[in-house]
């Protein structure tokens, strides 16, 4: 027979010992992608925040210039406003930044010049990214004779001086509108994007997941746009962001030389102000400041994105 006294004593001892509850296991954090890590890094970067705010303001001016000034940038009043000096106390009024030699408001022309320059920069960047990205992706993925032909074509265009070639192209047009300037700049500016995309695709196509997709019978379209493009586009985005400011400055340079936009633009105003710099410095000063701030904003944004997308910098 079992010893009932001993069994009862053991049960009492077990009841008196407090049970230790197992601590809850921490939940495994969800793995973040490169874009997720980049976004977290960008939100903490003051350079990204400042540049984003400045670019958002520029985009608002580009989309709705009438909200920032009621003056006409083309119509002038020579009788009352000829080379009239700035009246800095009248904030955002037509006379705030003075008038030019034709009686036109410098402030209104600076506002509407923002639309022209930013539209040229964004349009050229989009066209260059699409054209250069497609050519670089095809050259890097297929290789062989296709790579040789596209690479030699890229080298030919790369050997043409960018501004000089754009001047030659634009000189053949009498009315140089925004689409014409965008086409001229994109016609010669896609080479760097193509080279960056080609190198990125050559690296990505050797990855294990791409080889596994090929082994499973995935077609070329799925491999390119589902597996290679999302992982190879990061350096292209960095180049495009930085190049946007370069294209804006290129448009201003061409307009300054008389081969850019035919309408209102910062380059035209800087060129006009340069001829009257001795008597009216404000005509050249304020468009130059806006141009510098715009180019600096996009360069700062590009540097912040580059640092966020480059794992070596973290």
88-145 pLDDT tens trace: 777 777 778 888 888 888 999 999 999 888 999 999 999 999 999 999 999 998 988 9
Domain ranges of the chain: 54-313
- Residues 238-287: pLDDT tens digits? 899 889 989 999 999 999 988 888 888 898 889 888 888 888 888 889 99
Angle 51-121-42 (CA atoms, 0-180°, nearest 5)? 25
- pLDDT higher than 60, residue 300: yes
Q: Which residues share a beta bridge with 100?
A: none
The owner of tokens 């976004």 is 39
CATH topology of domain 54-313: MetI-like fold (1.10.3720)
Is the pLDDT score of 17 beyond 80? no
Beta strands in the chain (DSSP E): none
| pLDDT at residue 20 tops 50 | no
Q: pLDDT tens digits for 171-203?
A: 988 888 899 999 999 999 999 999 999 999 998
Phi-psi category of 217—alpha, beta or left, where left has phi over 0 and alpha has psi -120 to 50?
left
| CA–CA separation, 167 and 51 (whole Å) | 31
Please report which confidence band the pLDDT of residue 34 belongs to, taking 50, 70 and 90 as the band edges: low
Interacting residues of 223 by C-beta distance below 8 A, sequence separation 6+: 210, 213, 214
Q: What is the model's pLDDT at position 133?
A: 92
Place of tokens 């709705």: 64
The CA angle 165-162-175, to the nearest 5 degrees, is 50
Q: CB pairs under 8 A, 24+ apart, for 150-158?
A: 150/194, 150/198, 151/198, 154/191, 154/194, 154/195, 157/188, 157/190, 157/191, 158/191, 158/192, 158/195
What span, in angstroms and rounded, lies between the C-alpha atoms of 232 and 57? 31
Share of the chain above pLDDT 70, in %: 87
Q: Does the model's pTM come out above 0.85?
A: no
């Amino acid at each position: 027979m079992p010893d009932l006294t001993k069994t009862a004593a053991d049960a009492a001892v077990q009841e008196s010992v407090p049970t230790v509850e197992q601590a809850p296991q921490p939940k495994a954090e969800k793995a973040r992608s490169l874009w997720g890590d980049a976004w977290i890094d960008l939100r903490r970067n003051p350079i990204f925040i400042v540049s984003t705010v400045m670019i958002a303001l520029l985009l608002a001016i580009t989309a709705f210039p009438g909200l920032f000034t009621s003056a006409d940038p083309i119509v002038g009043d020579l009788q009352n406003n000829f080379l009239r000096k700035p009246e800095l106390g009248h904030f955002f009024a037509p006379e705030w930044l003075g008038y030019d030699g034709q009686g036109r408001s410098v402030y209104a022309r600076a506002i509407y010049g923002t639309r022209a320059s930013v539209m040229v920069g964004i349009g050229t960047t989009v066209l260059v990214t699409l054209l250069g990205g497609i050519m670089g992706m095809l050259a890097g993925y297929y290789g062989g004779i296709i790579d040789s032909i596209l690479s030699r074509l890229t080298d030919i265009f790369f050997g043409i001086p960018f501004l000089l070639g754009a001047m030659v192209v634009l000189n053949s047009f009498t009315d140089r509108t925004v689409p014409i300037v965008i086409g001229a700049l994109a016609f010669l500016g896609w080479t760097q994007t193509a080279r960056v995309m080609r190198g990125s695709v050559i690296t990505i196509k050797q990855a294990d997941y791409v080889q596994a997709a090929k082994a499973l019978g995935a077609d070329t379209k799925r491999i390119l746009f589902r597996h290679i493009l999302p992982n190879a586009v990061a350096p292209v985005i960095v180049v495009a962001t930085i190049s946007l400011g370069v294209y804006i400055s290129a448009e201003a340079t061409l307009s300054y030389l008389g081969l850019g936009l035919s309408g209102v633009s910062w380059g035209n105003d800087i060129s006009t102000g340069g001829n009257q710099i001795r008597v009216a410095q404000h005509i050249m000063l304020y468009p130059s400041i806006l141009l510098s701030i715009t180019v600096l904003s996009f360069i700062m944004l590009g540097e912040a994105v580059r640092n966020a997308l480059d794992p070596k910098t973290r």
